[in-house]
Structure 1
Amino acid sequence: MTPVRARRRRRSSAPGGPVGQTAVVTDVDDGAGQRDDPTGGGRAALDLLVWDAPNIDMTLANVIGARPTPASRPRFDAIASWFVEGAGDPDAPGAPEVEACVFANVPPQHVTSLQRWVEALRSFGYAVFARPKSQPDDDIDQSMLDHIDVRAHSHELRRLVVFSGDGRNFAEPLEQLARGGTEVVVVAFSEVAGYAISSELLHFIDIEDVPGAFAAPLDRVRLDALPVDGAWLRPTRSLREAAMSFLNRRG
């Protein structure tokens, strides 16, 4: 297995990382690699899901042209069911362990409102890595890569499912893992996931194609699923607002 090569190295903030980091609550044992490994490599197989919450939230808003409402947000219970089903029969020889992790930024002013969301995720079987967002450029991308790297060393990473449309940070390390034999699946909105759609190494699934991921169809027109007579794509911003923004940037 070829480990993820992160663009810069930090102390791992991932579950199972160095002593002193917050411990994760999952079913995956960092030291349980001897179990059910038919290859004789000494590490258990693992199917891992990582969710880039800031990216999915932002791209969802861009795609539907509005702030997401509870009705238009992803259903994490349905997504967990789809992911676990893809891991196969848990009683089969060599069946992989499964782990799903959501990575989120927590602005100080949203701590109270996000607490209920975090607890709901945990009740659906997800581990949550939450990081304070005190500066505009604070992000969790490296924390996600660190955790993938940890799991690539502690287990045989059989399948990696990444919910993110961020090609700038993820394209290279994900393709590196795919070259090493991991099945890498990118799940995002087709409007913003060109890096995965065009890759010969990564598998792409539009998030709306995950069964039950949304309670109702999103208000979007997908270029990969146009009706034969064509379709209008309405603006996501008023023309006057866009013009004013341009003038302000120009000074």
Structure 2
Amino acid sequence: MGRTIVLVDGENIDATLGTNVFARRPHPDERPRWERLTAYLAAEWDQPAVGLFFLNASNGTMPTQFVQALLAMGYRPVPLSGRADQKVVDVGIQMTLAALVDRDDDVVLVSHDGDFADDLAALKRRGRRLGLVGFREFFSGRLNALDLDTFDLEDDVEAFKAPLPRVRVIDLDDFDPDRFLV
């Protein structure tokens, strides 16, 4: 049996929530329940899911409570530091995607960022099963063009405790009027 490596771009998800969903910094109870993600992917692809959560630790400190919570949920925190002009989380994920080319693991990226498209395309050429998790309406066009398995963090994974104030196109077959009548 194989495994799924889940690469979480926490900065990107947090920024998307803050900028595009809430228009403010999300409160702790409005952030994803990350343990639901690996459980969902393990069930969906019928193999263990290993979560790597990339953190920017360039200021020399780590969010200790959050790191402890990640460890308790079975994630492997990846605290990276670098120069002020480096996008350390992006570079770390790109380095990991490049390292995965020579491995047999399936890969799921949790991000909306098109900067990862070339790295994912290289894995796709190797016949790897690939997935993308986030909010479908915010996936980069470059990521959408890869035709990956996509999972919505709210609708598919059910990673939130309460419905998010998202406005998006709803396929009529998926429309549930009760969601709007609360």
**TM-score, structure 1 length as denominator?**
0.61
1:214–1:223 Cα change, 3 Å: same
Residue 133 of structure 1: how far off its partner (Å): 5.8
Partner of residue 160 from structure 1, selected from 86, 100, 107: 107
Q: Corresponding residue for 1:195?
A: 141
User: 1:107 offset after TM fit, Å?
Assistant: 5.0
How does 1:115-134 map onto structure 2 within 5 Å? Answer: 115-132=64-81
Aligned equivalents of 1:198, 1:121: Cα separation in 2:
29
Runs of 4 or more, structure 1, over 3 Å off, are: 224-229
- 1:99 corresponding residue in structure 2: 50
Per the alignment, residue 147 of structure 1 pairs with: 96
Aligned residue for 2:180? none
Query: Number of matched residues?
Result: 174
Asked if 1:177 corresponds to 2:123, the answer is yes
**Structure 1 residues 209, 136: CA separation in 2 closer, same or farther (over 3 Å shift)?**
farther
- Pick closer, same or farther for the CA change 1:196–1:218 going to 2, 3 Å: farther
Task: Give the one of 60, 65, 69 matched to 2:17.
Answer: 60
Contact 1:46/1:98, CA 8 A, preserved across alignment = yes
Could you tell me whether the CA contact under 8 Å between 1:47 and 1:98 is conserved in 2? yes
Structure 1 position 197, deviation (Å)? 6.4
| Cα distance, 1:138 vs structure 2 | 3.6
Residues 60, 68 of structure 1: 8 Å contact kept? yes
Give a deviation string over 1:111-138, Cα, whole Å, max 9, x none.
Answer: 36x1100110011111111013662644
Structure 2, unaligned stretches of length 5 or more?
178-182
Whole-Å separation in 2 of the counterparts to 1:68 and 1:77: 18
1:48 shift after superposition: 0.9
* Counterpart residue number, 1:80: 38
Amino acid at match of 1:150: A
Retained in 2: the 8 A contact 1:185–1:203?
A: yes
SS of match in other structure, 1:156: coil
Q: Which residues of structure 1 form unaligned runs of 5+?
A: 1-35, 37-44, 89-95, 230-251
| Preserved contact between residue 207 and residue 213 of structure 1 (Cα < 8 Å) | yes
How far 1:152 moved relative to its partner?
3.1
In the alignment, the residues of structure 2 paired with residue 105 and residue 181 of structure 1 have an alpha-carbon distance, to the nearest angstrom, of: 31
Letter in 1 for 2:7: V
Name the structure with the higher helix share: 2
Q: CA deviation at 1:156?
A: 1.1
* 8 A Cα contact 1:196 1:204, kept in partner: no
State the Cα deviation string for residues 67-107 of structure 1 (Å, max 9, x = none): 1011210001111211221241xxxxxxx554210011025
- Asked if residue 70 in structure 1 is aligned to residue 18 in structure 2, the reply is no
Q: Structure 2: how far apart are the matches of 1:133 and 1:67?
A: 24
Once the two structures are TM-superposed, the CA of residue 210 in structure 1 deviates from its matched residue by: 3.1
- When residues 183 and 224 of structure 1 are mapped into structure 2, their CA distance, relative to the original with a 3 A threshold, is farther
Partner amino acid, structure 2, of 1:173 = D
In structure 2, relative to structure 1, the CA distance for the partners of 1:149 and 1:197 (3 Å cut) is closer
